[in-house]
Structure 1
Amino acid sequence: MHIKRIGVSTVLLIFLGLIPSVSNAQDLDPRLQELIGKGIEKSHKLNEKEFEAQQAILDQKLAKSVFLPKITVNGNYTRLNDDISFDDDTQNLLLGTQKLLIKEAAGVPFNAGFPEGVPVQPIPAIQEKNILKSSVDLDWVLFSGFEASNALKASKHKEASINYAASALQDKVALEIIENYDRLALVNASKKVLESTEEFLDQQEFYVKKAIENGLATPIERKKIELARQQLIARQLEFDHNKAILIEMLHKLTGESKETLELMMPQLDPFASTGFGSIEKRDEIKALEEAEEASLYKAKMERNNFIPKVALKGHYELLEDDLSLLDPRWYVGVGVKWNLFDGNKSRLESQKTKYEAEKYREQREEAEEMINLSITKAEQSLASAKQNILIVQKEIELADETYEMVDKQYRNDLASITDVLDALRDLEQAGFKLQESYYQQRRATVDLLHAQGQLKY
């Protein structure tokens, strides 16, 4: 009886041959980079940060606009209950003065009576009861007491803080996509391990079938093979289920169609040990630093409320028919506004904003401590993952040799089919552990790069 068998070299080619090539830590799969780009474009939180940054830019423009002249055109109509006139004594005085001037012009002696028939002009009202006005006003701040300049600086630092926070959020989006992408690669690699196990079962089933035909085995051994195959199908269904979930997650994160994601075949390429440089300041730290600076300038702006403000005021009447005798046609003036005491409002608000800056400083110091801790943890995880890869590779060699030995013993009636299936299961588990060790090595490398502020995508 001739049985086709899988030897040690073939098994190692199946399992150790799953070892992909080692890539540089910054060389992400181009398909993964494309997904990260789509995820960043789709992220609702990142879009919110963009709107916040635009608001900060508008705040800067508003701070600058303080020094631009404000021109307004006014129009109004008013009807009084009666004309506003001088009192009777004043009107009589004005009429007497007018008569004296007429007599003097006519050469009539001062003590002579007023000539008859000479008209006298009535005394006009100070303001007629129907008033129609239209004017232009100019308000121009010449000096804001440094409030506008400090508001401008605060807005600039706020914009920088938002941009750094958005960059840090991009890293989180990228990390989540990388993790799910690697999990998908792990599922695909594990599926290959199960396919290899299926090939082994096919060989054992073929051998048991021939052995039963020749009276060298019992039907119970074939049922054990069938049970092992059903268990294998259950594990395959589990991996299919996990893949469907990961496809759904990547679709949610990136907006890529599920059909396109189904066609992807990501690989678990272990990252090289090189590529780690000096530690760079994380964007989270930069965002907190800028937020602290923004708060300090805001506190200065509130404190500067006590510095005098200088402004120019202008007014011009477009209509003069209804102006009163006392209304000017136009005027221009410069004024000073000096807030000497506002009930401690500005001082208290400034102190409140300073406490906000202190809060950001505490958050920054805590973040720096957590980053240092994450660097240490990532370094230890990476060292452990690298060592674990070497261990699992040895386990695969041992599991393969054990399976080969037990298979030979079974063929010589020195071991049971249960022993063979147990050895095959150990070989399968070693294959799973190898793929998981690749996954853990990639996770530790990406975490370390991110902790050091060197993650590029």
Structure 2
Amino acid sequence: MKVLLFLLLASGLCFAEDGLSLDDAIKKVKEQNSEIAIAKFDEQIKSLEHQAAVGQNYGSVELSQTALRSNDALSIFGYKLQSRQATFADFGFKQFTGSNYMQTPEDLNNPKDRNHFQTKVEYTIPLYTGGKLEQYGKITKALEAMSTLDREAMSLQKIYELKKSFFAISLLDAYLYNLHIIASNTAKLEARTEAMMQEGYVKKVDLLEVQSKQADVERLINQAEANRKLLYYFVSFLVDESIQSIKGSYEDAQTLLVADERLLNDNLEIKKAEQSVEISKMNLAVQQSAFLPQVGAFANYGSSDDKYMNDFSKNDAYTVGLQVKWNLFNGGSDKNSLEKARVENLKATQQLGLAKKNIALSLKQIQTQIQNHEYEIKSLKKEVELAHLIYENYAGRYEQKLVSINDVLIKQSEELTKVLRLREVQNARNEKIFELQKLASKEMQ
């Protein structure tokens, strides 16, 4: 058993040198984690949406190319006017004489088929929209900032999960070390009991009790190793590559020392709630713009002919214009939309206040839990040390036939229970410290 224990420790030390460190794992999570990558894509999408919204302020330029053929009298007359090719004959004047002035002009009403090609470039630009476009730009910028906060929150969450896993693995390794020591001690006790049974000092039932206890310890070892393997699977999932071992020892997380006020100022959830309030104010301004006039300008330049690009400059033409639109009545829809925006702003403001209260409460709860865990850990370490000494004392007294094997196993169970409880509380303390770091938007170990 000593040889087995030595090999276990040696392999653990080897893994500690060759495995993945927490700092490297955090880098890999930031670069390779799929959920963070998706959050980065969302952030990029919001950035492009903002650029698209800002681009509307610069108007648009459109090139259109039209190719038509028709024998419709009105269309053909219009085509000729656009091509600057209309003549008096198109009005039927060549049929006009004193005796037939009441006849229908054939050239005007039944013209021949005609092709029409038109090339036109048109530029339109909004001059005044009541602040709507400006607010759309601000809203999309705020949404971009919100997506950045979402990405940072996702990164903190994955790092939180990673650190929990690293420290849980270290604590499991320490727990397994204790279990193997207990298993080694139980094996020694089994050997002593078997020797004493052969000499007639104890009964077989004593040996069976020891063997049963050994089987129970081995069961705990197998469970811990299975949980350890599962944790490695989870770490591999987080960093998106296979991880077989970790480098370093991570049992006691570093306590976060930061002022409560600073923590609340840095908290991402509060920042997101503040951003929501700002967005609701911008949306309120957007709805108010519906009561203001909309002013736009346009200019176009083009050329028309019955042949494609025949003589562009000869038949070219331009048009410039200005348009003012003012919605005076639409059944009260704008008024209701404005009122809805006001209510949404009030709601967002209330949610911000609630978020601050919730985070402040969570902060106090976590700080209290960490403090309680630290008190319990301090006490449990002494209890574990005492329980081990008591077990060794009872094991020695058993050899002197002063106590029963049942008394020895009871003391061993008490030691095992204390060890397990110590590891559980250490793990719970680490988890709360990592929750506090996430609450403070910190990535420290």
Which TM-score applies when normalising by structure 1?
0.76
Deviates more, 1:392-401 or 1:45-54: 45-54
Deviations 1:194-228 (A, max 9, x none): 11101211322332243344443333332222222
Residue 153 of structure 2 aligns with which residue?
A: 168
- For 1:342, what is the secondary structure of its paired residue? coil
The structure carrying a bigger helix percent of its residues is 2
Residue 297 of structure 2 aligns with which residue?
A: 312
Residue 132 of structure 1 aligns with which residue?
A: 116
Alignment partner of 2:227 out of 228, 242, 259: 242
Provide the identity percentage: 19
Cα 1:153–1:405 shift into 2, 3 Å: same
Residue 332 of structure 1 aligns with which residue?
A: 320
Alignment partner of 1:368 out of 356, 359, 363: 356
For residues 112 and 128 of structure 2, the distance between their equivalents in structure 1, rounded to whole angstroms, comes to 40
Residue 50 of structure 1 aligns with which residue?
A: 40
| C-alpha contact 2:43 2:151 (8 A) present in aligned 1 | no
Cα 1:182–1:302 shift into 2, 3 Å: same
Deviations 1:7-50 (A, max 9, x none): xxxxxxxxxxxxxxxxxxxxxx9822333343344544433433
Please state if 1:147 is matched with 2:132: yes
Deviates more, 1:139-148 or 1:126-135: 126-135
Cα 1:337–1:216 shift into 2, 3 Å: same
- For 2:329, what is the secondary structure of its paired residue? coil
| C-alpha contact 2:256 2:436 (8 A) present in aligned 1 | no
RMSD across aligned positions (CA): 3.4
Residue 341 of structure 2 aligns with which residue?
A: 353
Cα 1:274–1:173 shift into 2, 3 Å: closer
Residue 378 of structure 1 aligns with which residue?
A: 366
For residues 390 and 71 of structure 1, the distance between their equivalents in structure 2, rounded to whole angstroms, comes to 74
Please state if 1:189 is matched with 2:171: no
Residue 3 of structure 1 aligns with which residue?
A: none
Shift of 1:142: 2.7
For residues 94 and 179 of structure 1, the distance between their equivalents in structure 2, rounded to whole angstroms, comes to 98
| C-alpha contact 1:181 1:266 (8 A) present in aligned 2 | no
Deviations 1:324-363 (A, max 9, x none): xxx9832222232223233333333333334333333333
Residue 275 of structure 1 aligns with which residue?
A: 257
In structure 1, give the amino acid aligned to 2:54. K
Cα 1:329–1:412 shift into 2, 3 Å: closer
Alignment partner of 1:32 out of 8, 11, 22: 22
In structure 1, give the amino acid aligned to 2:39. K
Gaps of 5+ in 2: 1-18, 78-85, 98-104
Please state if 1:218 is matched with 2:203: yes
Residue 450 of structure 1 aligns with which residue?
A: 438
Shift of 1:158: 1.1
Alignment length (residue pairs): 398
In structure 1, give the amino acid aligned to 2:168. R
For residues 112 and 155 of structure 2, the distance between their equivalents in structure 1, rounded to whole angstroms, comes to 70
| C-alpha contact 1:299 1:353 (8 A) present in aligned 2 | yes
In structure 1, give the amino acid aligned to 2:374. K
| C-alpha contact 1:59 1:152 (8 A) present in aligned 2 | no
Shift of 1:425: 1.9
Which TM-score applies when normalising by structure 2?
0.78
Please state if 1:252 is matched with 2:237: yes
Residue 280 of structure 2 aligns with which residue?
A: 295
Shift of 1:385: 0.9
Alignment partner of 2:58 out of 44, 48, 68: 68
In structure 1, give the amino acid aligned to 2:116. L
Shift of 1:188: 1.5
Cα 1:405–1:213 shift into 2, 3 Å: same
Deviations 1:422-454 (A, max 9, x none): 112212222222222322222222223333444
Alignment partner of 1:403 out of 387, 391, 395: 391
Gaps of 5+ in 1: 1-28, 97-121
In structure 2, give the amino acid aligned to 1:31. S
Cα 1:397–1:453 shift into 2, 3 Å: same
For residues 30 and 272 of structure 2, the distance between their equivalents in structure 1, rounded to whole angstroms, comes to 19
In structure 2, give the amino acid aligned to 1:428. L
Cα 1:69–1:234 shift into 2, 3 Å: closer
Shift of 1:297: 1.1
